Amino acid sequence: MCSCYDLIEGDAGINSREVASEDNARRFGEFLTQLHGVPVRHTRLFWEKFYRDIKQLIFPHLYRRTSGHPRHIYSETKTRTVIHSDLTASNLLVDVKNKRINGVIDFADAQIDDPAFDFAGIYWNYGATFARMALDHYNGSADRKSLWQRIEKFYGLQPVFHELLRAVKENETVQRDHALDRFKKLKSVKST
């Protein structure tokens, strides 16, 4: 069995702040409103295990070098929707000439989970301001304030944790100083 769709014009992987316009934020927010339109229930096993692993394998290294304990970067949510789960610059098709997002590709990781996660890739690639603008155009069932807190305090930081967990689990040398610098940089990012 096979499925296909009409060709969507654009280049993938455009990681430019020029793409972070109000029009693209509106388009992205409206896309996520449609994608997240059907609320469903699903277990949180993946994120619960991920957070448990972070607490056990990563936090002990970070706590020795930072003040304070990031206990509250992960928070539970009861909202579950269909999510893309990999909304980064590489999966957005952009008309480079007009700097306009034309489409979204690669739904291979789609799942039922927290809608806040779909904002993490744009937070990471295009910055907090663009992610916030997209959220302003989002009309899903979840509370925007709660979504933003999860985006800013956990999901926007999770790429650092994924990198550290992979290195620890594969017995690679963990670049703690590099990871700590990235963690601090991400934690300092605030929307304007």
Q: Return d(Cα 50, Cα 69) in angstroms, integer.
A: 17
Please, which pLDDT band fits residue 188 given cuts at 50, 70 and 90?
low
Q: Return d(Cα 115, Cα 158) in angstroms, integer.
A: 15
Q: What percent of the chain has pLDDT over 90?
A: 24
- Mean pLDDT of all residues in 51-68: 70
Query: What pLDDT shows up at residue 24?
Result: 93
Q: Return d(Cα 51, Cα 35) in angstroms, integer.
A: 26
Query: What pLDDT shows up at residue 175?
Result: 72
Query: What pLDDT shows up at residue 3?
Result: 67
Query: What pLDDT shows up at residue 191?
Result: 46
- Summary mean pLDDT of the chain: 79
pTM: 0.69
pLDDT tens per residue, range 17-41: 778 899 999 999 999 999 988 556 5
Residue with tokens 């909202």: 79
- Mean pLDDT of all residues in 42-56: 73
Please, which pLDDT band fits residue 192 given cuts at 50, 70 and 90?
very low
- Mean pLDDT of all residues in 177-181: 72
pLDDT tens per residue, range 128-166: 899 999 999 999 888 899 999 988 888 877 777 777 888
Closest CA to 9 of 85, 90, 101, 73: 101
Residue 94, pLDDT above cutoff 70: yes
Closest CA to 147 of 112, 182, 123: 123
